Every structure is written in structure tokens, then in C-alpha cells.
Chains A and B, each alone.
Chain A
Amino acid sequence: MIEIDNITKIYEGRPAVDAVSMTIESATITAIVGTSGSGKSTLLRMINRLVEPTSGEVRINGEPTTGMAKNALRRRIGYAIQGHGLFPHHTVARNIGAVPRLLGWDKAKIQDRVDELLDLFSMPPEEFRSRYPAELSGGQQQRVGVARALASRPDLLLMDEPFGALDPIIRTRAQADLHRIQRTLGSTILLVTHDMEEAIQLGDQVAVMDQGRLVQHGTPAEIISNPATDFVAEMVGGVDRPLRLLSLLPISDILEDGAAEGEPIDEKTNLREALSACLWSGRDSVPVERNGALIGHVTLKAIRSRAEGSHELG
């Protein structure tokens, strides 16, 4: 558990981060969203003390970060940034093994960990281990950057716009990969983004920052259905709100028995995709399958009622 306690950073008399407190539960993803200049990156950088707070403190599992040596603290916390920041003169294996090497792991253990992570990111170790970053695609560089941040099994992973430099298709894949890997490893992730869509898709919790203040902190559904301020409402985007909300709801919520016509959709998708399937093929209901077997159907009417009822959520 990470506790941020009343933390403030003042630059030239002005607060860049203004008395922010929040708690991050272990094994969850928290997405901090805000426009540029909202203080979200400064907040993140105060956690591994790349920026020293003017006042307030951060505790990791109850232990204040100010009590630890800076470099020792940073080696306990994973750090992945926009534009990956890989060492261009080191191989992929050496890049990923950077923190374990600093921590003095033995060679065999580092190599096993590197191979394990490359496998996890679907990059065959024997093919990628000894390549240099310049020989990788943008998406692969980004994956190696995240693998480096995860290498020492850190208590916490900080990510500053990690997908900012990727094109949209690769970006969507990278987000899905991160989600899968976080669930597999049970990592605690704090991620900064300017993209509300990304925050809603990835975050178990979403924290919205505006002018250095934390204006709202809650589940994606709460943020969408009950924006605390006009700024948050603007961030979640008025017209897209019902669609964003539907994208958070699983099919199982409104699954009904019985059959329906046409191409089925998978049970693991969400209501936005079910709505999309209805609209695209002009159907009033679509069949739902689980592992290829039909298990029921969802109706357009039920989807609509969930979207309308959304303001009562939260």
C-alpha cells in the first residue's frame, strides 16, 4: 500500500502540487489524469524523489520514503517513461537487467529473470536478448522499457505517459499487454496520462488532477457518472459518457437466456462492443458465446437501459 500524505511542491512561490493525499492499494492500477501543467508528473516524481516535496510525505507499506537513501528507494520502485529511455549502448538483456545488477543479483538469476520478462512480453528471448535498442521497433522498445521497470519485482511501478510516443494501434496493444501483465504479476502501478480513455481502460482507480489539486479520485464508473467538477465532466467528455460507461460494463450484467440471430459476440467483451454489434448489423439482440458455445443473448433494449441508468451509478 502506498500512502501519499498531504504532499506539496512549490516552484517559485506557486504550488505545482497542492496538498495532495491519496492511498493506492496493492495490486491495483491507479491512473492519474490531467492536462499538461496539472502537476501530475511532479506528483509522480515526488514518489521516487526525483523531485523533493516541499512538505508532506509518501509512505510505502508504512515506511516513509524520506527515511531511505534516494538511490536505494529508486531501485525498489520501477520507473517507465515516455520515449522508453533505454540505454542505447546496452543490449536488451543488459537494459532489462539494469536494476537487478544494481541490487547485486547473481548472473544466472538475472538472466533467468530477463528471459522470463521477454517471454511475458511475447518477445522470444533467443531472438531479442542480444539486440540493441536501435534495432527494435517503437512498440518493442516500449515493452523493453516496461520490462526493465518490472525486472526487480518492485513494490511499485511508476509510469509517466508510457504509451505517449506510440501510434494508436500499437498503443492499444501495449495497454492490453500492460493490463494482462499487471493481473498476472499482481503489480501495483501508478500511471500518469493526459488521455482519459486510457485512464478509464487501464485504471482500477482514476485520480483527476487540475492545477496542482486532486479534484476527484474514484473508480472509472464513479468518475464518469458523477464528475465532481466541471473540469472532470469536460475531461470525461460529455457526449461520449454513455459509451465510456458501457465500455466498463461486462456482458454478464444483462445476459439473458435464449437465442438470437446472426454473428455472436464473446462473453469477455463489454456492452459498448455489444451495442456496436447491434447497430452495425441492424439487430435488436445479439447472441453471446463462451469458448465458442452459445450461452444466451443480450438485447439492445437492455443495453439502452444500462446507459440511461448510468447517472444513478456511483
Chain B
Amino acid sequence: MSWANLLRAAVCGLMLALVLRPEWFEPMFAPFAPEGAAIIYDRASLLSLSLSHLVIVAAASVAAVFVALLLAILVTRPSGKAFLPLSRTIANMGQTFPPVAVLALAVPMLGFGSGPTLVALFLYGILPIFENTMTGLSTLPPATMEAARGIGLSRRQRLFQVELPLALPLILTGIRLSVVIAIGTATIGSTVAARTLGEVIIAGLLTNNTAYVLQGGLIVGLFAVLIYDALTQLETFFQKRLGLAH
């Protein structure tokens, strides 16, 4: 096993231990908890909070990937070129709204719970994927595209057999950025009662219990690192397949 894989296994183990056996870490967090207060968060199981956190991130990301890919494909077709500036503006607007503002605006419409968080994460996730897919689809090797047209592939065949596969590494980079941002941003959802690991952090902030803040923050951080790493490996795999890296 290489050093990189050893490190990966160690980080993964640490994450699982923090989620499944938080009591093991009591001595480590004890110095950060106020006198007499609980050291390990016990108002809900960390496992169920983690799963709910990941499900919200996954749901928002899947929707963002779908919409961003569709938009990017449409605006890179000859007939969609006119919509390029408009769709860019919309995607950028999603990004300029602070997530807290989206939450505040969405609560009156969607009520407390996961709804507003899903909307905020979805809007936030679109831009990186859209920008990267668009770059990927508009910087394809010209000789390959000319040949694809010249040997008689239809538009649809060119899109699915040549353009998307060749843009895949860039698309994956966009998805990676988007998912990692969402993992962090999801914590804010707990201010409007979404069940995420933000609950642990917010409880810690409200009661001056740094142990809680550390506990919640560490788990979220490790999720981000592990998912970032997994998606990077996936990108490298596809890049190799495309002969872009060896």
C-alpha cells in the first residue's frame, strides 16, 4: 500500500470513529468544554445527522449537476448561442446571493426544515459546474470535431460519443468544487432547522461549548477532504483514459 493510500485509510478511519464512536474522543475535547457541560454532543446521534447532511448535499448536487449540464449543453449548441450571456447572468446571480440571504428569503415560502437549504445549495452549486462544462464543450480539439462531423456522426452522436466524454474531466472538476462548497455551506442550513452537522456547531456557539464546535467542524472538514480526494481520483482516471495524462 502506498503512502497516499495509507493516509487515505487513516483519514477515513478517523472520520468513522468521530461519527460512530464519539465517546472515544472525550479526553481530547474535554479541555474545550465549559465546566460541568457535556463534552460530546448527545442531543441527536451524530450518525443520523451526518447521513442527513450528506443526503441534503447529494440531493442538491444531483439537481445542480442536471440543470447546469443541461444549460451548458444548450448554450453551446449553435441554436442556443444567443442564450449564453443570459444563462451566465443567471448562474452568476445564484452565486452572488449569500446563502444566508437565500435561506431567509426561502423560509417564508418553504417553511422551516430542509427545503430552504436544498434551494440555497442547489443555486450555489450550479455555477462551477455550468462554467466548467461550458469551457469543456467549447475547447474541444478542432481536428477531432472536424473528423467527427466529416465521417458522418449526427449532432446527438457527436454530443454523447465525443463532446461529453472529452469534456468529462473538466465537468468532474466543476462537480468537485460544487460538492465541496455544498458540504461546508450545508451547515448554515441548521439555522433554519435543517438536520445537518451544522446543528452541532450552532449548539456549540450558542452555549459557548468549543468542544461541540470542534466536533461538528472536524467531521464536516473530513467529509470535504475525503470527497474532494475521491473525485480528484476519478478525474485522474478519466484523464488517463483520454490520453491527457500519463
Interface residues of A (CB under 8 A from B): 48, 50, 70-75, 78-79, 81-89, 98-99, 102, 132-135, 145, 148-149, 158
Interface residues of B, dominant DSSP: helix
Contact of A72 among B145, B152, B157, B161 (CB under 8 A): B152
> 8 A–B contact pairs at CB < 8 A?
A50-B146, A70-B152, A75-B152, A85-B147, A87-B147, A89-B165, A89-B242, A149-B151
User: Contact between A75 and B151 (Cβ–Cβ < 8 Å)?
Assistant: yes
- Report chain B residues within 8 Å CB of A87: 144, 147-148, 161-162
Contact pattern, B 138-152, Cβ under 8 Å of A = 1, otherwise 0? 000101111111111
Contact of B146 among A75, A85, A88 (CB under 8 A): A85
CB closest chain-B residue, reference A98 = B151
| Number of residue pairs spanning A and B whose beta carbons lie under 8 angstroms apart | 75
User: Contact between A81 and B146 (Cβ–Cβ < 8 Å)?
Assistant: yes
Interface residues of B (CB under 8 A from A): 141, 143-154, 157, 161-162, 165-166, 241-244, 246
Distance in angstroms between the alpha carbons of A135 and B242 in the assembled complex: 11
A77 CB to closest chain B CB, in angstroms? Answer: 8
Supposing A71-B154, A73-B152, A87-B162 touch, asked if A81 and B243 sit within 8 A by C-beta, the answer is no
Supposing A88-B244, A102-B152, A133-B243 touch, asked if A79 and B147 sit within 8 A by C-beta, the answer is yes
Task: From B145, B148, B153, name the one whose CB has the most chain A CB atoms within 10 angstroms.
Answer: B153
CB closest chain-B residue, reference A76 = B152
Contact of B243 among A71, A74, A84, A135 (CB under 8 A): A135
User: Contact between A81 and B162 (Cβ–Cβ < 8 Å)?
Assistant: no
Contact of A88 among B150, B152, B243 (CB under 8 A): B243
User: Contact between A50 and B153 (Cβ–Cβ < 8 Å)?
Assistant: no
User: Contact between B143 and A88 (Cβ–Cβ < 8 Å)?
Assistant: no
User: Contact between A88 and B153 (Cβ–Cβ < 8 Å)?
Assistant: no
User: Contact between B151 and A88 (Cβ–Cβ < 8 Å)?
Assistant: no
Distance in angstroms between the alpha carbons of A48 and B153 in the assembled complex: 13
Distance in angstroms between the alpha carbons of A81 and B145 in the assembled complex: 11
User: Contact between A89 and B147 (Cβ–Cβ < 8 Å)?
Assistant: no
Distance in angstroms between the alpha carbons of A50 and B149 in the assembled complex: 8
Distance in angstroms between the alpha carbons of A149 and B148 in the assembled complex: 11
User: Contact between B143 and A79 (Cβ–Cβ < 8 Å)?
Assistant: no
